[in-house]
Chains A and B, each alone.
Chain A
Amino acid sequence: MNGPKRGGAKKYNPDDTRRMPQSRAFLLYLLPMPMLFLALWRMLGGNGGSAFGFAAGFALCMLAATLVRKGVGIESEAKRRKIVRRSSTVPYKVIGAGVLGVAIFLSALMGAGIPMFSSLMLGLASVVGCVFVYGTDPSRNSPDMSAIGVTSEEVLEILNEADTKILAIEAARDRIHNVELKDRLKNITKGVREIMGIVEDDPRDLRRARKFLRTYLDGAQRVTEGYADTHSYGDDGELEDNFRNVLGTIERVIEEQKGKLLENNLTELDVQIEVLQLQLEKEGV
């Protein structure tokens, strides 16, 4: 009655960086399925050549589907993160379409016994169909990572790790009943996402944000989870005060981190983070 209950429908959150639903090249896995049965049927019927044609075609179709799926995944991540993986220099979708063409040509020619020219046309048609549906691979127009001392994999790995930690903090937040603390934690996760956005926009900032996103965010996650676990056993005034202090420090550091990232000031922030780490240990929440 008074707002959404836990376990009910989730509130829409445009800042949510969780994995978006994406095309999984399901069609390419589904359509060749009859080829597997045909291969078995032909094998039982003693038609080895045809069985081989369908079996090889089916296996290549599965390979093509996997390659296209990987390409789709990379494209989806690039759209979400504004950064393209270095491994995307391999044009997975185009290679997948080519493999699909070979698969259809082989199964048409050897499996179904369709004449050479028609088999070739079917193979070409499937390549065109695949490119029409899944498109081609994204071009790498993000900054040259090797020139700035980090690889795109490194940036994506740290951002994905940070995402996981944010989700853990949000899960712990759901177990806390104090509205004020919940709101402050919400602002904290929002601030961390803003920092991640700054790094995505300019991966050179990773050098400055790495420690924050790895070590410090890890500490924030542990403290929040620890508080949520302990809090469920009952209220403790001292514990709550300590947690409030820690949240205040986290909020301050996030603001400073954002400011420093924009100002490109490295040293002072590193020192502050170390001081904060010591404080977190000292507070022992």
Chain B
Amino acid sequence: MPEKLKKMIGVLILVCSIGGVSCVGALGPSLDRITEGSSGSKAKVVK
């Protein structure tokens, strides 16, 4: 694998893994609410 391509892939992996953890950490509660809402398991019935 060419060195430059390897570095680019490495940077992409680092950005995705480190950035991903931060994103999930920041958006976690919001994501929970969305998934809970879409699954309907805890959806409230509005009369």
Contacts and interface: CB of A to CB of B under 8 A. Distances in A.
B20 A122 contact: yes
A15 B20 CA distance: 45
B26 interface: yes
B9 A132 contact: yes
Nearest to B20: A122
Given A122-B20, A125-B17, A130 B25 contact: no
A269 B6 CA distance: 51
Contact of B17 (A54, A104, A134): A104
Given A112-B28, A113-B28, A104 B21 contact: yes
Interface secondary structure of B, over-half rule: helix
Given A104-B18, A112-B21, A129-B17, A38 B26 contact: yes
Contacts of B14: 27-28, 31, 126, 129-130, 133
Contacts of A66: none
Contacts of B6: 132
Contacts of A42: 25
A35 B17 contact: no
Scoring B21, B24, B26, B28 by chain A CB atoms within 10 A of each residue's CB, the highest score goes to B21
Interface string A31-58: 1101100100110000000100010010
Given A31-B18, A32-B18, A129-B17, A107 B11 contact: no
B25 A111 contact: yes
Contacts, number: 76
A132 B7 contact: yes
Interface string B11-35: 1111111111110111010000000
A266 B11 CA distance: 52
A123 B12 CA distance: 14
Nearest to B32: A113
Contacts of A111: 21, 25
A128 interface: yes
11 contacts: A27-B14, A38-B25, A57-B21, A112-B24, A113-B24, A129-B11, A129-B13, A129-B14, A129-B17, A130-B10, A133-B7
Given A112-B25, A113-B24, A129-B11, 18 more contacts: A27-B11, A27-B14, A31-B15, A32-B22, A34-B25, A34-B26, A57-B21, A61-B18, A104-B17, A111-B25, A112-B22, A114-B21, A114-B24, A122-B17, A129-B9, A129-B10, A129-B17, A131-B10
